[in-house]
Amino acid sequence: MAYFVQQLINGLTLGAIYGLIAIGYTMVYGIIGMINFAHGEIYMIGAFVTLITFLVLGIVGVTYVPLALLLVLLSAMGFTAVYGWAVERVAYRPLRRSFRLAPLISAIGMSIVLQNYVQLTQGARVKALQPVVQGGFTLMEQGGFNVQVSYLQIFIMLLTTALMAGFTVVIGATPLGRAQRACEQDMGMAALLGIDVDRTISLTFVMGAALAAVAGVMVVLYYGVIDFFIGFLAGVKAFTAAVLGGIGSLPGAMLGGLLIGLIEAMWSGYFSVEYKDVSVFVILVLVLIFRPTGLLGRPDVEKV
């Protein structure tokens, strides 16, 4: 039981990270109907910016942890958002009217470019950072097994909840959110009604990238070990989360992320660590077979 609760907590933490990445996939899919393969790399870049900012702050001498965390968050979100914007501008915007496979191929090309760009500039070796936030408390004790909740896990979950709340407000109650929902329904009509479609799509990418950057911050804090290749698997998993939750649905993405995190933690805890990535993939295929619209998604109506 205690072990189960521990895995539950670990899984939820992991799930929060996947959920934040999944939102980027689901938003982009909702608005322009493409899988942004480069999104996993955007998250990876967020993690690298985080690492670099921590190191710079260490050199500059900012040692007060809350301030350092705030600065790191701002820096990661800011710089990574520029990456999100640039990727859209360079690789997707010129292809709005191209044939069906073009944006997908362009996205996979962009993903390869970003991966190798970081490998060439930052080196291929795994980079490890000293833990920044330490400590925690024991939630319960059973048969000599302590269920630990670290402060970091609480921080991750609180931050995720706050971001989700803020995000729901942005989508539901601001002009930008309204424009996004309008573009999602009918891009041509939205343009006729005076919405700057290109700008709305760009901002969608910027928001998705900023959330992926937060996931990057969390992964650096939580695991402390990153390399240029982390975006690949995290991307596939987050996409699975988005599909599981129902692609196009924001609460679905978060729910899917949490479920994927839980499944992965339980699988590693009770079955085998080597095949934990296989479990996620099996879920993706099963969802696609039995419930392609996901848990919270609406059926996709294909228009001619």
Partner 1 sequence: MAMAAAPAQRLPWAEWMKDAALAALVTLALAIPIVGLQAIEVNATLTIRPRFGAVAIGVAVVFLGRLALRAALAAGPAWRMPLARLWAPAGRLLASNAATLGIAIIVLAIALPFLPFASRSTVTIATRVLTYVLLGWGLNVVVGLAGLLDLGYVAFYAVGAYSFALFAQWFGLSFWAALPIAGLLAAAFGFVLGFPVLRLRGDYLAIVTLGFGEIIHTVLQNWVPVTKGPAGIGDVPAPTFFGLPFQNRAPPGVTTFHQFFHLDFSPSQRIIFLYYVVLALGLLTNAFTLRLRKLPIGRAWEALREDEIACRALGINPTTTKLSAFTIGAMLAGFAGAFFATQQNFISPESFTFTESATILAIVVLGGMGSQIGVVLAATILVTLPEIARPFAEYRMLLFGAAMVAIMVWRPRGLLAQRAPSLLLRRQPRGGS
Site residues, partner 1 (CB under 8 A)? 34-35, 37, 45, 48-49, 51-53, 55-56, 59, 75, 79, 82-83, 85-86, 90-91, 94-95, 98-106, 108-113, 115-118, 120-123, 125, 127-129, 232-233, 236, 239-240, 243, 274-275, 277-278, 280-281, 284-285, 288-289, 292, 300, 302, 304
Q: Where are the alpha helices (DSSP H) in the chain?
A: 2-32, 39-60, 65-87, 102-122, 151-173, 175-185, 187-192, 197-222, 230-245, 250-270, 276-290
Measure the CA–CA gap between 244 and 228, rounded to whole angstroms: 26
Quote the least distance from Cβ 170 to partner 1, whole Å. Answer: 23
Which C-beta is closer to partner 1: that of 105 or that of 159? 105
Which C-beta is closer to partner 1: that of 143 or that of 274? 274
Which C-beta is closer to partner 1: that of 102 or that of 154? 102
Which C-beta is closer to partner 1: that of 149 or that of 214? 214
Which C-beta is closer to partner 1: that of 89 or that of 178? 89
Let me know: does 237 contact 18? Beta carbons within 8 Å.
yes
Which C-beta is closer to partner 1: that of 76 or that of 164? 76
Which helix (H) or strand (E) element contains residue 147? strand 145-150
The torsion angle over the Cα atoms of residues 295, 251, 71 and 216, rounded to 10 degrees, is 10
Residue 246 token pair: 């129902």
DSSP 27-60: HHHHHH----TTHHHHHHHHHHHHHHHHHHHHHH
Quote the least distance from Cβ 289 to partner 1, whole Å. Answer: 4
- Within 8 A by CB and 6+ apart from 135, the residues are 150, 151
Which C-beta is closer to partner 1: that of 180 or that of 240? 240
Quote the least distance from Cβ 240 to partner 1, whole Å. Answer: 8
Measure the CA–CA gap between 65 and 70, rounded to whole angstroms: 9
Quote the least distance from Cβ 80 to partner 1, whole Å. Answer: 9
Quote the least distance from Cβ 130 to partner 1, whole Å. Answer: 9
Position 283, amino acid: I
Residue 41 token pair: 């790399």
Quote the least distance from Cβ 2 to partner 1, whole Å. Answer: 29
Measure the CA–CA gap between 55 and 194, rounded to whole angstroms: 45
Quote the least distance from Cβ 23 to partner 1, whole Å. Answer: 17
